[in-house]
Amino acid sequence: MNYRHGYHAGNFADVLKHTALCELLRLLTAKDKKLFVLDTHAGAGGYDLAGRLAQRTGEAEAGIARLASAPRTDMPPAVARYLAAVAAYDRKFGATDGKPRRYPGSPRLVRTALRPGDRFIACELHPEEVFLLKREFAGDRAVEVRQADGYKALKAVLPPIERRGLVLIDPPFEAADEYERLLRALRHAVRRFATGCYAVWYPIKDEAAAAFADELSALEPLTLEMRLGGIEPGRLAACGLSVINPPWRFEEAMREALPWIADRLGPGVSAAVRPPQAGRPAGKAAP
């Protein structure tokens, strides 16, 4: 349990994941019905891009920093909303020049999108991350922070009383059996809460990732991918986000946003949107 997301905050994987998350939240909160959100591996909530962890890797420079400074000609609305959310968080700490210095993790992005009556549970197991997460939301009754195994939380809180929900699953992928644990937990969650929207992030590194994606395809998700070029061996160069039961128009927004992002992140960066397998339309969960 050594993973700290601060090393990777604002990198290309966060850009993909959080652009999609902001759009999912926007679409799911468009309906006048209460929404439940569960973040199973929430992290610290917010990150200092000038801090020790982020500066050690410098990954944000090739991610959010590059995107924020890119010319905004023909910027897709989904990207504009994501960058606005990042800038709004940054302004809380006094930033005014447009260069990101603080980066919102998924819990902060979720909190910004919540309406009165919506409910949010953020789970984290790492002791230092939990401390920071609780400090991030101290006094905020709209956010329930739990020091808990996110996979066990899926069983504990699903189905939600709201009957409408978004579940973000973004594990650290430290354990050797992470893919297996994730698949078991996800299958169980979908059986308990078949109409929920699930967003599952995973690194694409080796044959285990390919096997995982193949197994995951049985749930017929919409899958987003981003790949970098010219990355030294051993560093993350590709990742995926699979979304089960995406809301209407989410796929359309991602098909517009991801190629634009890839072009601005630099040469060799590519993005793909892969629709669910034939046989079940998007928006229908597996039994």
Residues with a catalytic annotation lie at 170
User: What whole-number distance in Å separates Cα of residue 54 and Cα of residue 5?
Assistant: 9
User: What whole-number distance in Å separates Cα of residue 60 and Cα of residue 109?
Assistant: 17
Tell me which H or E stretch contains 97: none
Q: How many CB atoms lie within 10 A of CB 231?
A: 14
- What one-character-per-residue DSSP string does 33-57 give? S--EEEESS-TTSEEETTSHHHHHH
Cis peptide before 247 (omega within 30 of 0): no
Q: Is-contact 196 285, C-beta < 8 A? A: yes
Count of residues making up the chain = 287
- Chain position carrying tokens 């020790």: 52
Structure tokens at 51: 């801090």
Residue type, 281: P
Give the residues across from 238 on adjacent strands: 227
- The DSSP code for 169 is E
Q: Is-contact 129 146, C-beta < 8 A? A: no
Instruction: Report the chain's terminal Cα–Cα distance, integer Å.
Output: 33
User: What whole-number distance in Å separates Cα of residue 36 and Cα of residue 165?
Assistant: 4
